[in-house]
């Protein structure tokens, strides 16, 4: 068949043998005493295309070797071939459950590189979007985590609420998921009139929905059996492995970039950072649930702040932000700026910057190196999922194979985030 | 309900074998539980309460390719993943169909680079392409309905 030959030409398959993994697994695997099992990349509980090579002693995991890269898309390389404004679009598709967080990390790096100020109003708008993103990401996590452990209905409820957030995103950006709403210097457009009432309605009903989820899970004996005491990580170990976000806070380490290195005016908001005690799957679950409640608090404060916030939704610096349509008919200068920005983009100095923000999964950092021209020399993202996948062996070794599923769910990995 | 209303108490419906088989196949196309990237999240939304894919007899995702009839390639197929996708497709038993969901699976999308296979049709035959990045659930459902139309038009003599 033509397709077969095409496959042979295009894709070289890895031809491996047990010898290649000899030094990675224990002696017992070679003698056949323990079993080698391949989990993924096509497996429903690996949350995408993660592959794990497991060495099993009966049901017990002896070694676990993650194999990543099945979703390596070359996003960083693609951004390097685009002007700064266009690069934003690619960042949505990395951590596809938190597009707005990626956008913001990238935009803040660009802003730092060129020294662009973001108006206060735009900052408040960003905070609203970021926290809504956090809620919707945690909803997907909760739904899939619960489905992995056998609680089907939670998935349906979570997605019901998530749809409402996606409706709000569609309202402001025209797209349900990949809005590319954040732009260097602010956001794409002002909120439409119906957005703020929409958010308020959502916030009014959402706390009772979280109560519903908790009713289904938090005290459910089956849930407790499957999650308590599983995948325990000590605080110092979690720090040593570079964990961040709820995965770190579940171990009781108080580290939240919103508090530790505030950005977008997070220091002015009043919220708590939920911490776990035992560092097991259950504590990470509780942390995320409580985080959703904290996000509601933050959004409420931001909504109050929005009418009084100074400035527009985007910086007025015309060297970096395009002029509004209406100006084009009146000012020659506006036409020139418009033309320059949409054909060539803006130039950034030959310097490097690093900006980190707190995404729903943890620290997402953007390293950016300018060239003096309109494209970056190097873009690199430090993504939380990559760090957390390293921790899966540590959390799962010695446990049953069924607990591995709980561990994978509890670190909330997104393979697009890890492989990029 | 529909049939009895139309035909009264006849108790007999005449049709051709071809139509009957195709009808049975359209109503219960089981997709492979298989997600690659962002599009898979929209695919999950499609199965959620609001869009309710169960209306088309497709709520039952099979994790094993042996039990699946339909592969929805939801997301970008990378060079490392391509052999796996082909392997899964080969393991599915006939008759089988493929929907390529999203720009990445259809043509590589924005990622015209070293890592992404420029369209999953380079490695497996595709029946329906759904555009969008990611396609809305409505678009995916339209793609599924288009596929059902296609299945309804299949001929027995072409199966062999
Ligand atoms: S088409 Fe868009 S949404 Fe779908 S996998 Fe590709 S980048 Fe993601």
ipTM of model? 0.83
Name, of A53-62, A127-136, B62-71, the range with top average pLDDT.
A127-136
Region A85-315+349-419: CATH code: 1.10.645.10
B18: burial class by Cβ within 10 Å (0-12, 13-18, 19+)? middle
- Res. A181: pLDDT tops 60: yes
- Res. A14: pLDDT tops 60: no
Helix H or strand E encompassing A161: helix A152-173
Mean of all residue pLDDT scores within chain B: 84
Contacts of A145 in chain B (CB under 8 A): none
Largest CA distance in chain B: 64
The predicted pLDDT at position A7 comes to 46
CB proximity B108 to A under 8 Å: no
The predicted pLDDT at position B4 comes to 59
Helix H or strand E encompassing A173: helix A152-173
CB proximity A19 to B under 8 Å: no
Percent of chain A with pLDDT over 70: 93
Structure token digits, residue A99: 């597009």
Average pLDDT over residues A152-178: 89
The predicted pLDDT at position A105 comes to 92
Mutate to test the interface with B, among A43, A93, A420 (most CBs of B within 10 A): A93
Count other Cβ atoms within 10 Å, centred on residue A384.
30
CB pair distance less than 8 Å for B50 and A163? yes
- Could you tell me the residue ranges of all domains in chain B? 28-149
The predicted pLDDT at position A298 comes to 92
DSSP state of A220: -
Average pLDDT over residues B20-44: 84
* Residue A316 binned pLDDT confidence (cut-offs 50, 70, 90): confident
* Residue A19 binned pLDDT confidence (cut-offs 50, 70, 90): low
CB proximity B66 to A under 8 Å: no
Mutate to test the interface with A, among B47, B48, B122 (most CBs of A within 10 A): B48
The predicted pLDDT at position A21 comes to 63
Helix H or strand E encompassing A135: helix A120-148
- Could you tell me the residue ranges of all domains in chain A? 2-67, 85-315+349-419
* Residue A1 binned pLDDT confidence (cut-offs 50, 70, 90): very low
Structure token digits, residue A164: 């409402």
Mean of all residue pLDDT scores within chain A: 86
Contacts of A163 in chain B (CB under 8 A): 45, 48-50
Q: What is the pLDDT of residues A221-237, one digit of tens each?
A: 888 888 888 888 888 88
Question: Which chain B residue lies closest to A177 (C-alpha atoms)?
Answer: B134
Angle ∠(A295,A273,A205) on CA atoms, nearest 5: 25
> Which of B42, B115, B125 has the CB atom closest to A72's CB atom?
B115
The predicted pLDDT at position A397 comes to 81
Average pLDDT over residues A102-128: 91
* Residue B9 binned pLDDT confidence (cut-offs 50, 70, 90): low
Region B28-149: CATH code: 3.40.50.12280
CB pair distance less than 8 Å for A78 and B113? yes
> Which of B41, B61, B86 has the CB atom closest to A177's CB atom?
B41
**Is A137 within 8 Å of A97 (Cβ atoms)?**
yes
Shortest distance between the Cα of A417 and any Cα of chain B, in A, equals: 10
The predicted pLDDT at position A6 comes to 44
The predicted pLDDT at position A296 comes to 92
Q: State the SS3 of A199-218.
A: HHHHHHHHHHHHHHHHHHHC
The residue among A96, A153, A140, A387 whose CA lies nearest residue A288 is A140
The predicted pLDDT at position B115 comes to 86
Residue A294 Cα to ligand 1 midpoint, Å, equals: 31
CB pair distance less than 8 Å for A73 and B76? yes
CB pair distance less than 8 Å for B81 and A70? yes
* Residue B112 binned pLDDT confidence (cut-offs 50, 70, 90): confident
Average pLDDT over residues B41-64: 82
Q: What is the pLDDT of residues A261-274, one digit of tens each?
A: 888 888 889 888 89
- Distance (Å, rounded) from C-alpha A39 to C-alpha A51? 6
Shortest distance between the Cα of B149 and any Cα of chain A, in A, equals: 25
pTM of the model: 0.87
CB proximity B54 to A under 8 Å: no
Count other Cβ atoms within 10 Å, centred on residue A282.
25
* Residue A107 binned pLDDT confidence (cut-offs 50, 70, 90): very high
Question: Which chain B residue lies closest to A42 (C-alpha atoms)?
Answer: B34
Average pLDDT over residues A255-260: 88
Q: What is the pLDDT of residues B120-143, one digit of tens each?
A: 888 999 999 998 888 989 998 899
Residue A132 Cα to ligand 1 midpoint, Å, equals: 21
Mutate to test the interface with A, among B54, B73, B81 (most CBs of A within 10 A): B81
- Res. A189: pLDDT tops 50: yes
Structure token digits, residue A311: 């400035």
């Amino acid at each position: 068949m033509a397709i077969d030959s095409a496959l042979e030409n295009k894709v070289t398959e890895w031809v491996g043998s047990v010898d290649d993994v000899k030094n990675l697994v224990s002696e017992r695997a070679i003698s056949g005493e323990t079993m080698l099992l391949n989990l993924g990349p096509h497996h429903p509980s690996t949350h995408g295309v993660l592959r794990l090579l497991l060495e099993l002693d009966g049901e017990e995991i002896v070694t676990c070797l993650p194999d990543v890269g099945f979703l390596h898309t070359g996003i960083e390389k693609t951004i390097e071939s685009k002007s700064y404004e266009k690069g934003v679009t690619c960042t949505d598709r990395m951590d596809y459950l938190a597009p707005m967080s990626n956008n913001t990390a990238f935009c803040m790096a660009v802003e730092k590189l060129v020294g662009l100020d973001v108006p206060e109003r735009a900052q408040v708008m960003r905070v609203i979007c970021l926290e809504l993103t956090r809620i919707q990401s945690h909803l997907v996590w909760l739904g899939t985590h619960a489905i992995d452990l056998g609680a089907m209905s939670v998935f349906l409820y979570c997605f019901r609420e998530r749809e409402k957030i996606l409706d709000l995103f569609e309202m402001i950006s025209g797209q349900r998921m990949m809005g590319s709403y954040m732009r260097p210097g602010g956001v794409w457009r002002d909120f439409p009139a119906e957005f703020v009432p929409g958010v308020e309605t959502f916030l009014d009903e959402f706390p009772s929905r979280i109560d519903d989820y908790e009713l289904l899970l938090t005290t459910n004996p089956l849930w407790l059996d499957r999650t308590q005491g599983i995948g325990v990580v000590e605080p110092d170990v979690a720090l040593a492995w570079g964990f961040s976000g709820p995965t770190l806070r579940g171990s009781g380490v108080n580290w939240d970039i919103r508090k530790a290195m505030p950005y977008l005016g997070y220091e002015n908001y009043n919220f708590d950072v939920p911490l776990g005690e035992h560092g097991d799957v259950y504590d990470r679950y509780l942390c995320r649930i409580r985080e959703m409640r904290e996000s509601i608090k933050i959004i409420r404060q931001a909504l109050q702040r929005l009418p009084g916030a100074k400035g527009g939704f985007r910086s007025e610096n015309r060297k970096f932000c395009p002029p509004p349509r209406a100006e084009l008919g009146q000012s020659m200068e506006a036409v020139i700026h418009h033309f320059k920005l949409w054909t060539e983009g803006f130039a950034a100095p030959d310097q490097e910057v690093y900006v980190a923000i707190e995404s729903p999964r943890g620290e997402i950092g953007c390293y950016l190196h300018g060239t003096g021209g309109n494209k970056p020399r190097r873009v690199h993202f430090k993504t939380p999922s990559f760090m957390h996948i390293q921790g899966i062996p540590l959390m799962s070794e010695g446990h049953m194979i069924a607990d591995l599923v709980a561990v994978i769910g509890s670190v909330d990995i997104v393979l697009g985030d890890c492989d990029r | 309900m529909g049939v009895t209303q139309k035909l009264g108490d006849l108790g007999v419906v005449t049709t051709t074998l071809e139509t009957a088989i195709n009808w049975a196949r359209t109503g219960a196309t089981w997709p492979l539980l298989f997600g690659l990237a962002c599009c898979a999240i929209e695919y999950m939304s499609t199965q959620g309460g609001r869009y309710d894919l169960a209306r088309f007899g497709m709520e039952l995702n099979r994790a094993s390719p042996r039990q699946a009839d339909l592969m929805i390639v939801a997301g970008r197929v990378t060079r490392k993943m391509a052999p796996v996708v082909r392997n899964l497709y080969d393991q599915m038993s006939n008759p089988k169909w493929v929907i390529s969901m999203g720009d990445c699976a259809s043509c590589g999308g924005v990622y015209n680079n070293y890592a992404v296979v420029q369209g999953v049709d380079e490695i497996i035959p595709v029946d329906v392409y759904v555009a969008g990045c990611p396609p809305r659930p409505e678009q995916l459902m339209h793609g599924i309905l288009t596929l059902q139309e296609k299945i309804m038009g299949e001929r027995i003599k072409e199966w062999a």
